[in-house]
Structure 1
Amino acid sequence: MTDLTKLLQCKMPLAAWIIDVEHSSVPWCNDAAEQLLVDSLGEIHSGRRIISDTLKERLSLCLGAVEEGKTLAFNWPFISKNGTRYNCTGSVISLGDERKGLSVEARPVVLPSAPQHDQDAGLLRQFKTLSFVIFDMDCVCVESSDAFKTHFGDIRHVRDLFAVSGAANSFISRISKQENLSQEIMLSALDGVRWHRIEVSKNALTNKIYLLAHDIQEERDHEVALYRLNNYDSLTNLPNRNLLYQQLESALINARKRQREFGILYLDLDGFKVINDNFGHRVGDELIQRVAERIKASIPSGACLYRLGGDEFVVVLENTHAIEELENIATSIMQNASNTYPVAKMEMMITASIGIASYPSHADDVDNLLKNADAAMYRAKSTGHNLYFVYENKMADNINAHLTLGGGLRKAIDEEEFVLHYQPKIRLPDEAVVGAEALIRWLHPELGMISPDQFIPLAEESGLILPLGEWVIRRACRQLQAWREAGYPPIKLSVNLSSRQFMQADLVDMVQRILQETGVDSEYLELELTESMLMADAQQSIEKLHGFRKLGLTLSIDDFGTGYSSLAYLKKFPIQTLKIDRSFIHDLGLDSDNDAIVKATVAMANSLNLKVIAEGVESRAQVDVLNSYKCQEVQGYLFSKPLCSHEFALYMDTHGFSNLSASIEADYV
């Protein structure tokens, strides 16, 4: 009965504890040891002696002569409460501070063979506190310990231990072919299906099957918790960077072996830092959760979504055949961003810049694939919002330039290396000059003129957009005052606000302070905002816009038609002007859809007593169509390119300037 003897000796799990010989105490013991030493628990927890002076002296002598990791040359007996005899063996361990201790294991003493009935009864007594059961060769339950009954209930057949019949069949088949079995398996206990570690021994002499089960569900739960902690994002429950690299390495091996392709999309949310800074991290976290849910719903079932941290996500798609498959995913994500996110009792809007890279077209290893997708994402972010780009070789150079510009941006603001250029604005139908749009440029001392699409994203990301935006307002007001002092009629100045600047808590006070400093009357200052900016939190936008109106400022919506505002909110926003985006003007007269959109926008604005301005006008045909729709003002290269302040003054002198109030618009693009 060798196998059963081993089973009894193991008495799974084995009782183990640590003895601090010097202090005659037990600083640690496992659950099995606590049950075995139940009468000594009070002494153990209080640190009192649990070994005799004789044994302590003997162990102390041995500790000095035995090296760490070695087992003592003798066992010492221990008798449990139920009378079972154990032999305790100890191996030497370090307890720190150059002190040695013992790691102890207790194994039951196997008594000489007894008649079968007495032997089974003895086994049940020895396994009284453990889940132990005896089956006959037909797997019918013969007898079980009290602990087994408490844990599993009334088991009549081994099949009753399994929640799935297939698992029961597999177990019965295995035990019929082998004498011993040891495995971790799920069994059906009274409190549900749980993981157990079982040891099974079949004895041909007694025609009995002995099974010892130990519940390890908590151990498994702990392992799962540690795994999730290391490999999943706690906020979104998405797999994190660790699992991303695992999948990419696996995908790379498979792709090389089978000559296949795979690709990734690198996503970064547009303006998320602004939301965190202005609404707090709780709102930001909730928004991240909603975004993750929507992205996951936007990608195909074969794609995997990961969160890298912050506002960065990666989508992986294996076994691709063309880059268009990745582009279709990007398009789907952008389309699903058109709906607002209900967050903290607000309706918020946020988009993402997306970079795409594919193996082997854009990189032949994981690190470069991620780096190149990141570079493509930066290209999308620098170009605009809610865009995607596929990686191109020149994008890596753009990243280096991006970082170089970022280092000099704060210095440029301090030393005022920026200028405003002005493009004439024309009134219809008489085509008189009534104002201008001002465009900011960076006069870099080494790189020369830098366009705003290169440095504005840097300013947004770094937070420098706030001092830069304040500079634009102040500089434009000073220019307005200078023109007025030069004898030009009073003109209205329009300043385009960035999304982060609009969320600035003291924006109204800052604008009022600049007006007072420059001496400009508030009726000549117009603030221009985008639809997406207003809809990020429509209710708060309405309150802030009314605050501006109390100051006497004029309000305008820029790039109208490209955002996602509703007519219901358009009525609530206290605005006076709509500016039709150039994308609708480009094919005007050639595209019936654009014609219909522009005509409807102008008609709607007129019915709401709003002024309409069309930007990007480059042909006489476009002017004719806009004139027929009764659009009030236009601007574009058909009339003039952007001019410095001196050249713009000459342009006004040459082409005439209306005596009516004009508008000069300061913009970032």
Structure 2
Amino acid sequence: MTESLDKPTVLIVDDLPDGIQVLNQILADEYRVLFATNGQTALTITREQKPQVILLDVMMPDMDGYQVCRELKANPETRNIPIIFITGKDQDEDEEMGFRIGAADYLTKPVRPTTVRVRVKNQLQLRRSEELILRQALYDGLTGLPNRSLAMDRLRYAILQEQREYTKTGLLFIDLDNFKTINDTLGHDAGDQVLVDAAKRLRQCIRKGDTVARLGGDEFVIILPRLKQVNDSIPVAEQILRSFTQPMPIAGMDYVISTSIGIAISPDDSNDYKQLLVNADTAMYQSKNAGRNNYHLFNEKMNQHVNRRMQMETHLHGALERGELLIYYQPIVDVLSNQVIGAEALLRWNSPQLGWVSPEAFIDIAEQTGLIGPIGAFVLEQGCRQFWNLRRADGRLLSLAVNVSPQQFRREDLTQQVKKVLQMTGMQPGNLKLEVTEGLLLGNQDCIKDALQTLHEMNIRLSMDDFGTGYSSLSYLRNFAFDLVKIDRSFIKEITQRPDDEALVTAAIAMAHGLGLEVIAEGVETQEQMALLTSKACDQIQGYLFAEPMPFDNFVTWLKEKESL
């Protein structure tokens, strides 16, 4: 049995048993031979067994050889299998017809054994050479998955088949969350490792007959043909989300790389393969914007979001030069004294075309387009200048917190940039606090550790932002020169209603204090939250309970009014 499976497979298709017997006697010693006595059976066997060569009789009832050939050539899965036509008619027009619809060779009955063996062997050799070329052209070299070209070919065919069978085709667009951070910080080898692991997991989530392909970068698609209803695509998406909850071992550490998935269905969302891909991509971005690690089915309202995102990207270019980007300040209050001890600089965008745009909407675009570098430098310099002018005007000694994105940190020599800003503005290092997210700390940790240590030695205070939402908070607090941690607003929002959130915040405060760090809670909106955080010995508070973010002049006025109370 094993020996038979090791042989190349040849399918003989002939409605006459005598014809099959003759060819079987010629080929059985060297090949694994399959038989079909009609066209429909031949199509089924070919789809299931994928023979290396097909010997196909032209003259058959119901479905002749030409029709079988057309069907096979229309299917991307069987298109490249060489077909040798066999006919009892020696007519030039018959040969011309056969070659025109895709035949690789032609034999005339009665066949000669030597000729049959040579023709089959030649086609196998050609097939092997073509497969090498096709593999390079149609498959991704890293993951072994079909590439964009082959995926689109299969999607076109699936949509064509659904119209014949009255079924639906599902298209899942899958993007790896935070892949860019991993790739940029741990290096391209680690990024490749993530992609290979992701491809393996995606393969395990599909049915026989489905296709998983890599479009490029960290983008994958899954094609689900022959669906009966729209919701048949959902179990696959849910299985993918579950599969990616398992950590990936990368560069000696375990990382959880989640996925954002968009789903579009043909013909419901479009029966054009290009538009279906666009729609699935649009739904994927909806999943990103909804917090990642989830899936969304496409609907027409999503196109409005895509158009707005494109408008934002267009208008963000030049927004800094046009004076549309503004710095707002939100006060930070000491819990014990109830005094304002500083403020966080928060970026706002007032676009003449788009109106006020929230930072949640445009910061991600700034990072993706590389605009975060000059924008971040503007916030740092402008904030330091305004706060030091405030100190010189009335003696107020307030700290300024400035967010530094991972991209800004990696692309710029941040330590030199900070030194230059301090010299230009007169701001004292001890009054500047830089807030970084855990994503910054991935990868080249020695280099990052040295940079953070240099900033720390300059007497600049360092805060870990969004504490509790990232990768490995405790180990980073131990290994890097932090002074403060900021507990993310997502844990503060329902701290008085959710015991789990209260327990997490209590543990975070105790852990930070145990490491000699101060704790800031952001997003405090109620007196109940304030009282609970005070009872937990939280050091500093920031949120709408005290004040919303405001322009610098309003902030100065607010300070004076607060003092007069």
TM-score (norm 1): 0.63
Mark the CA change 1:465 to 1:326 in structure 2 (over 3 Å): closer, same or farther. Answer: farther
**Alpha-carbon deviation of 1:462?**
1.4
Task: Rate the CA distance shift 1:586–1:184 in 2: closer, same or farther, 3 A.
Answer: farther
Alignment: residue pair count: 482
Residues 1:335 and 2:239 are matched in the alignment = no
Using the TM superposition, name which of 391-400 and 536-545 deviates more. Answer: 536-545
The match for 2:194 is 290
Equivalences for residues 504-653 of structure 1 within 5 A: 504-653=411-560
Distance 1:231 1:166, change over 3 A: closer
2:372 to 453, 465, 473: 465
Is the Cα contact below 8 Å between 1:271 and 1:350 reproduced in 2?
yes
How does the TM-score come out when normalised to structure 2? 0.74
Answering whether residue 97 of structure 2 is matched by residue 187 of structure 1, we say no
Q: What secondary structure is seen at the aligned counterpart in 2 of 1:363?
A: coil
For residue 257 of structure 1, report the CA deviation from its aligned partner: 4.9
Q: Residues 587, 197 of structure 1: CA spacing in aligned structure 2 closer, same or farther, 3 A cutoff?
A: closer
| Bigger proportion of residues as strand | 1
Change (3 A) 1:227 1:185: farther
If you compute each CA radius of gyration, which structure gives the higher value, 1 or 2?
1
> In the alignment, is the contact (CA less than 8 A) between 1:274 and 1:503 conserved in 2?
no
- Give, as a single letter, the amino acid of the residue that structure 1 aligns with 2:425: T
Do the aligned residues in 1 keep the contact of 2:255 with 2:471 (CA within 8 Å)? no
Measured against aligned partners, the alpha-carbon deviations of 1:263-296 in whole angstroms (never above 9, x if no partner) come to 33323455666777788xxx43651442242253
Native 8 Å contact 1:419 1:440 kept in 2: yes
Q: Distance in 1 between matches of 2:298 and 2:520?
A: 36
Distance 2:528 2:555 in 1: 25
- What are structure 1's unaligned runs of at least 5 residues? 1-158, 201-207, 658-669
- Within 5 Å, give how 1:84-233 maps onto structure 2: 187=30, 213-214=117-118, 215-216=121-122, 218-233=125-140
1:404 aligns with 2:311: yes
Q: How far 1:183 moved relative to its partner?
A: 8.8
Say if 1:163 and 1:654 are closer, same or farther in 2 by CA, change over 3 A. Answer: closer
Q: What residue identity is the alignment partner of 1:290? A: V
Identity among equivalent pairs (%): 34
Q: Which amino acid is the alignment partner of residue 331 of structure 1? A: L
Contact 1:417 1:443 in 2 (8 A): yes
**Are 1:477 and 2:384 matched, yes or no?**
yes
| Separation in structure 2 between the aligned mates of residue 576 and residue 596 of structure 1, nearest angstrom | 23
CA distance in 2, matches of 1:654, 1:636: 18
Q: Which residue of 1 aligns with 2:205?
A: 300
User: Are 1:350 and 1:536, in contact at CA under 8 Å, matched by a contact in 2?
Assistant: no
Alignment check: 8 A CA contact 1:270 1:385 kept = yes
* 1:368 partner SS: helix
Cα pair distance change 1:295/1:645, threshold 3 Å = farther
2:328 is the counterpart of 1:426:
no
Aligned 8 A contact 1:186 1:196 in 2: no
Which residue of structure 2 lines up, in the alignment, with residue 414 of structure 1?
321
Letter in 1 for 2:374: P
User: For the residues of structure 2 that align with 1:309 and 1:592, how far apart are their CA atoms?
Assistant: 43
Question: Is the CA contact (8 Å cut-off) linking 1:412 and 1:418 kept in structure 2?
Answer: yes
CA contact (8 A) 1:354 1:388 kept: yes
The CA distance in 2 between the partners of 1:578 and 1:212, in whole Å, is: 77
| Matches for 1:320-359 after TM superposition, within 5 Å | 322=231, 324-325=234-235, 327-329=237-239, 331-332=241-242, 335-336=245-246, 339=247, 342-343=250-251, 353-359=260-266
Structure number with higher helix proportion = 2
Kept after mapping to 1: 8 A contact 2:194/2:248: no
Q: Secondary structure of 2:550's match?
A: coil
Instruction: Work out the CA distance in 1 between the residues paired with 2:525 and 2:273.
Output: 46
Aligned to 1:80: none
Segments of 5+ residues of structure 2 without an aligned counterpart are: 33-50, 56-83, 87-111
Secondary structure at 1:414 match in 2: coil
1:297 maps to amino acid: R
SS state at 2:328 partner:
strand
